Amino acid sequence: MALTLKSGFSFDYDNLFGEGKVTQADLDSYKDALKAAHEAMKVMRETGFIKAHLSKDGNPEKVYFSKLPYITEENGKLNLNSPASIQRLHDFTERIRNNVDAVVSLGIGGSFLGNKVLFDIFCGEFWNTWTVEKRNGLPKVYFSGQNIDPRRTGDIINHLKAMAAQKDGKYKVMLICISKSGGTLDTMSNFMVMLDALKKDEKIDVEVVAVTDPNMEKKTLLKQLAVDNGWESFAVPDGVGGRFTVFCEVGLSTAAVIGMDIEKFLQGAQDMDKACQNEDIFQNPAMLNAALKFIASEKYGRNIEVMMPYGDYLKSLSEWYIQLLAESLGKQFDKDGKEVCYGRTPLVAVGTTDMHSQTQQHQEGTLDKVVQFIKVEKWADDLVIPNVFPDTKKLADISGVTMSEALEVARQSNADALKSNKRFNACFTLPELNEYHLGELMYLLAMSVAYEGELSNVDAFNQPGVEAYKRIMGPKLQELKASK
C-alpha cells in the first residue's frame, strides 16, 4: 500500500498498516480526533492560530511555517517569503559570486541543521576541494557555531588563514551569523572568536551578514550590531520556530550561497502543502504519516522512530528530523496542563552503513521501534559494479548491476526482514534527489509533527525543555567569569 502523488513522491506504508500492524479499526477509533486535527491545520493556515501555543516568553504567538512555501506580497508584511525577498536572495548569490572566497555559516539547532541538509545534498563532501570554475564562482562553505568546541573552531580559523596565505591579494571571508536574538551562546561565542582572529590577519578581508529578528523598533542584540556596523541582514521571522526555518531566509540564505534553485524547493513544499489539505486521510500524506506513527506509539508501544535514509548525503536530513521530532513532540505537559511525558525518541541511521550495526537491534531487540526509510528512485550519477575479478564467483555475482540497484536491494531486504519479525517500517520515495522533491519531503515531515501535536494534544511549536538548561547555564557562566 502506498500513497503516491502526481509528482511521483510516494509514502509506502504497507509494513505499518494492516493485520498485525496499525489497523483500519485503530484509525476509525481516532476518527473524531483526526477530523479535529485537520480542522486545526486549516485554522493554522488561515490565521496562524494554534490552541494554547505560547512563545518562550509566555505570550500568545502565531504559527506561520505553513505560509513559507508561498511567495506572495502579503507574506512580505510578516517577513516571510515574498517576491522582493526572493529577488534579494538571488541578488545575494550574484553579489558573492567570484567575490567571496569562503563563507562560514554560524548557527545552531534549526539555524544549522536545515542549512547543512541543503549543503550536503546539493554540494556534497568535496565542494570545498573543487576549483572556483567548477563551483561556478561560488565560495567554499564551512559550518560553525553549532558547538562550543575550541579545537574545531581553531581548526577552521587556521585553515582559513592557510588558504589566505596561498592567495595573491586579499582572501575574502563572509561570516553569516544566524541568531534571532544575538544572545545564542554557542553561536555568538564562535562568531566573536572567529571575527576577532580573522580581522587580525592582514591577508583576510572579513564581511559579516546577520540573520536575525528584523524588528527595527525594538532591536535585538544582533540586529543592533548589524545596524551599528552596517552589516547586511536577513530575517528570522516571528512565528517560525528554528526547526521550521529551512523554508525561510535562515535556510534560504545558505541556498543562495550554493546557487540552489530556491523556487523549486519552495514549489515542492507548496505542492506538498496542497496535498496535505485533503480531508481523506489516505490522500493526505502528513495526516496519514502522523496518524499511523501516533497509533503505533500509543497502542503498540513503538515509541522510538529510526529515520534511515539510504544514501550518505542524506544523513544530515535524518539529523534535521531528529530535532524536528524531539522538540516538537517531546513534551512533559499537554495543552491542558496535564502531565503526559509524550513523544517518540528519534534515532539517526543510514543505509547501508547501519545495516551492519544498528539493524541487529532493529531486527531482534525490544519491540519499540518504527523504522522509517527514505529512498531515491533515480540517482543523477550512477555507477555500474564492474566484473573486475571474474574468477572470484562471490564478487562476479554482484557485478553488472548499478550501485543504486544494489542499494535498493539492500533496503528492500532490510524492510522485508523487519516485516517478517513484526517490526513496523515504512518508506518515503523521492523520484530524484532534487530541490523540488526535497522540498516535498521536508515539508511533509514538518506538517506531520503539526498533525501529531493535535492528536497528542501537545504544543508542537514550543520547546520549554530547551529553555530549562539555558536558565541554569546563564548564571553559571556569570559565576565562572566572576571567579577569574
90 is catalytic: no
357: which strand partners? Answer: none
402: which strand partners? Answer: 384
Residue 192 neighbours by CB under 8 Å, 6+ apart? none
Residue 397, judged by CB atoms within 10 A of its CB (0-12, 13-18, 19+), counts as exposed
Q: Which three cell numbers stand for residue 141?
A: 562553505
Ranges of beta strands (E only) in 247-357 are 304-309, 331-333, 339-342, 345-348
Residue 298 neighbours by CB under 8 Å, 6+ apart? none
- CA torsion through residues 34, 35, 38, 40, sign: negative
**Structural contact between residues 372 and 425, judged by C-beta atoms closer than 8 angstroms:** yes
List 6, 356, 393, 394, catalytic entry: 356
- Name which of 420, 422, 428, 413 is nearest 309 in CA terms: 428
470 is catalytic: yes
- What backbone phi and psi angles, to 5 degrees, belong to 289? -60, -45
CA angle 261, 264, 269 (to 5 degrees): 130
| Nearest-angstrom CA–CA distance, 328 and 445 | 11
Residue 31, judged by CB atoms within 10 A of its CB (0-12, 13-18, 19+), counts as exposed
356 is catalytic: yes
Residue 62, judged by CB atoms within 10 A of its CB (0-12, 13-18, 19+), counts as middle
Q: Which three cell numbers stand for residue 357?
A: 550495526
- Name which of 282, 283, 304 is nearest 293 in CA terms: 304
| Nearest-angstrom CA–CA distance, 54 and 63 | 10
**Structural contact between residues 250 and 211, judged by C-beta atoms closer than 8 angstroms:** yes
Q: Which three cell numbers stand for residue 221?
A: 542584540
**Structural contact between residues 209 and 175, judged by C-beta atoms closer than 8 angstroms:** yes
| Nearest-angstrom CA–CA distance, 260 and 254 | 9
List 61, 249, 305, 327, catalytic entry: 327
Tell me the angle at which helices 110-122 and 435-456 cross, rounded to the nearest 10 degrees: 150
| Nearest-angstrom CA–CA distance, 309 and 318 | 7
List the catalytic residues.
327, 356, 470
